[in-house]
Amino acid sequence: MSERLEIPQTEVDREGHVLLPCELCKSARALVFRDLHYRRKAFCEGFPILLCAQCGNWAIPGNVRYLVKEVIQNAQLKGTFTAKFRHDGVSIDYSAYPPFKFSPIDYMFFPGLWRPNEDGALTPLFFRRRVLHRYQSDPQYDLHYTSNTYGTVVIPPGNHIPFGINRNDLVIMWLGDVAHLPEDEISYLRSENVHSDHDLASDFYRGQIDVEWDYESKERELLELHNELSERFWAEFGCRLCEYDLETTEHLKAFAEPALWTLKEVGHVWRSMNNVLVESLNVEGLKQVVRMYTADEIKGLKGLKLLEKLMGIAFAGLGAETLNPFFVLYDLRLVTSHKGSEQSRKMMKYCYERLGLDSGAGFPDLHRTLLEELCDGYRQIINAPISPRP
């Protein structure tokens, strides 16, 4: 064990519940186990606390605080007193539930999970992220993201199961939600079930327990900005920015973080994003708008090159760098369509470089940085003043 932490008097005197967000930096805390002491007389070995990895601030969960107070009272009577926390000492009856891997300690000591009836329904289960692959790829299921770390999977016959994704990329579900699924679904979940890492930081926890709803996925934000720019094009130029077909509807369903960070899975997302944001650009409409400003030859221009031409003459103050992430997205579509070749490897390295990333950063950083840059590009175009027409 690490060096004992001194229990401040404020923790001893604290009343009521402790919240998961850190009071100092607002980052979500995780459940960890530490040795504590109070005035070098009361010793608590391996007790659960809520620790903020961001700033080091920590607090004692409400259901632990009464145990700590008992240790302090015994120390006051006996001079010194030591108590060891027993991980098997949490007595919740789970006999009615399927045999998943989980920690009753999470249920007892994470803020907001324990209930007086101690039914254990809000005991968190943890799974490898790849558990979501089945729900994203099999058409009999529906999977919807509310944000990048909160979503719902619909499992036949009509079971709506909320889930989260924590900071360690593990998927979280409540034991009570999955306990009554069909046996084959439980078997599948058990095959991807892992031991708790005692970290519930996610919009899933914020929405389910803290009832906070001030979030959305980056993919949803990207679509909203895309739609906002489309509305501006129509208002300013009487032109549709994009032309969609029936296939676009299917591509819109893929606007979510991939279940697995493999080239196959993330490539499917990039290809769908490219179809909606780039391939659907209204070439004839954009040409009409360009001709409102210039008589330059534009016969060979299409898609992004045409939009780049328009931005240079119609959107004051915007340069080619605004569309850089859109060109990166287009190239990523090409990379995933011709994977394995030396040319595709060089192009992938170039995509990382243009987003300011090291080529070893990995697909999660590449995808999330791309989303940020795409959103920023849309904001620049939406907010840029329109140049007067000649």
What is the per-residue pLDDT across 260-298, written as a single tens digit (0 to 9) for each?
A: 888 888 998 899 899 989 999 999 999 999 999 988 888
- Residues 93-124 have pLDDT tens digits of 899 999 999 999 999 889 889 888 888 999 99
What band does 153 get if pLDDT is binned at 50, 70 and 90?
very high
pLDDT on residue 213: 65
Span 303-357, pLDDT tens digits: 899 999 998 888 877 878 899 999 999 999 888 877 667 888 899 999 999 999 9
Q: Can you give the chain as a three-state secondary structure string?
A: CCCCEECCHHHHHCCCCCCCECCCCCCECEEEEEEEEECCCEEEEEEEEEECCCCCCEECCHHHHHHHHHHHHHHHHHCCEEEECCCCCCCCCCCCCCCCCECHHHHHHCCCCCCCCCCCCCCEEEECCCHHHHHHHCCCCEEEEEECCEEEEEECCCEEEEEEECCCCCEEEEHHHHCCCCHHHHHHHHHHEECCCCCCCCHHHHHHCCCCCCCCCHHHHHHHHHHHHHHHHHHHHCCCCECCCHHHHHHHCCCCCCCCCCHHHHHHHHHHHHHHHHHCECHHHHHHHHHCCCCCCCCCCCHHHHHHHHHHHHECCCCHHHHHHHHHHHHHHHHHHCCCCHHHHHHHHHHHHHCCCCCCCCHHHHHHHHHHHHHHHHHHHHHCCECCCC
What residue ranges define each of the domains in the chain, with the CATH number in brackets? 5-84 (3.10.20), 104-208 (no CATH), 218-383 (no CATH)
The most confident of the ranges 85-94, 190-199, 215-224 is 190-199
What is the band of 3 on the pLDDT scale with cuts at 50, 70, 90? low
